[in-house]
A and B are shown apart, each in its own frame.
Chain A
Amino acid sequence: MIGEDDVRHVARLARLHLEQDEVGRMTGELARILAHIDKMSELDISAVPPTAHVLDVVGVTRSDRVEPGLSREEALRNAPAVVDDCFRVPKMG
Chain B
Amino acid sequence: MVDTMRLTAREAKKLLVDGEVSSAELTKAYLDRIAAVEDRVHAYILVTADNAAKYSTKVDREMQAMRGPLAGLPIAVKDNMVTEGVTTTCASRILHNYMPVYTATAVRRLWDDHVVMLGKTNLDEFAMGSSTENSGFAVTRNPWDLGTVPGGSSGGSAAAVAAGEALWALGSDTGGSIRQPAALCGVVGMKPTYGLVSRYGLVAFASSLDQIGPLTRSVHDCALLLRHIVGKDPRDATSVVAPAPIELPSAERLDGLRVGIPREYLAAGIEPGVRARFEEAVALIEELGGRCVEVSLPHTEYALPAYYIIAPAEASANLARFDGVRYGYRAADADDVVTMYERTRGEGFGPEVKRRIMIGTYALSAGYYEAYYGRAQRVRTLVRRDFTDVFGEVDLVASPTSPTVAFPVGARAADPLAMYVSDVCTIPANLAGLPALSIPCGLSDGLPVGFQFVGPAFSENRVLDAAHALETALGFTATPSLGGAEAALSQSGGAEAASPTGDAASAPPEGTAS
Contact = CB atoms under 8 A, between A and B. Distances in A.
Q: Do A and B touch each other in the complex, judged by CB within 8 A?
A: yes
Interface of A: 2, 6-7, 10-19, 22, 25-26, 29-30, 32-34, 36-43, 45, 48-55, 57, 60, 62, 70, 74-75, 77-81, 87, 89-93
Contacts of B208: 52-54
B354 A36 contact: no
Given A29-B416, A77-B99, A92-B337, A87 B325 contact: yes
A-B interface, 5 closest residue pairs, ranked by CB to CB distance from nearest: A93-B336, A17-B346, A54-B433, A78-B327, A50-B377
Interface string B374-387: 11111111101000
B337 A93 contact: yes
Interface string B309-339: 1000000100010011111111000111111
B476 to A, nearest CB: 32
A43 B298 CA distance: 11
B417 A89 contact: no
14 contacts: A10-B361, A10-B362, A16-B342, A17-B346, A22-B351, A26-B355, A30-B359, A40-B305, A45-B379, A48-B381, A54-B384, A57-B195, A90-B336, A93-B335
B432 A54 contact: yes
B98 interface: yes
Contacts of A81: 330
Given A38-B305, A53-B238, 4 more contacts: A7-B358, A10-B361, A39-B302, A43-B382
Contacts of B326: 78-79, 87
B347 interface: yes
Contacts of A89: 325, 337, 340
A14 B240 contact: no
Size category of the B interface is 35 or more
Nearest to A59: B237
Contact of B101 (A6, A48, A74): A74
B449 to A, nearest CB: 26
B340 A11 contact: no
A15 B327 contact: no
Contacts of B378: 43, 45, 48-51
Contacts of B306: 40
Interface in B233-267: 234, 237-238, 240
Interface in B372-401: 372, 374-382, 384
Interface SS majority for chain B: helix
B474 to A, nearest CB: 31
Interface in B117-133: none
A17 B302 contact: no
A71 B9 CA distance: 38
B349 A16 contact: yes
Given A17-B346, A37-B372, A93 B339 contact: yes
A90 B340 contact: yes
B238 A55 contact: yes
B339 A40 contact: no
Contacts of B355: 26, 29-30, 33
Contacts of A93: 335-339
Contacts of B301: 39
Contact of A91 (B336, B341, B354, B357): B336
B345 interface: yes
Contacts of A92: 336-337
A81 B346 CA distance: 19
Contact of B343 (A17, A26, A42): A17
Given A79-B327, A80-B324, A14 B309 contact: no
A78 B346 CA distance: 20
Nearest to A74: B101
Given A33-B416, A50-B377, A40 B357 contact: no
A14 B98 contact: no
A40 B361 contact: no
A40 B301 CA distance: 9
A88 B376 CA distance: 40
Contact of B316 (A14, A53, A60): A14
Nearest to A46: B378
B144 interface: no
B358 A14 contact: yes
Contacts of A80: 324-325, 327-330
Contacts of B194: 54-55
B308 interface: yes
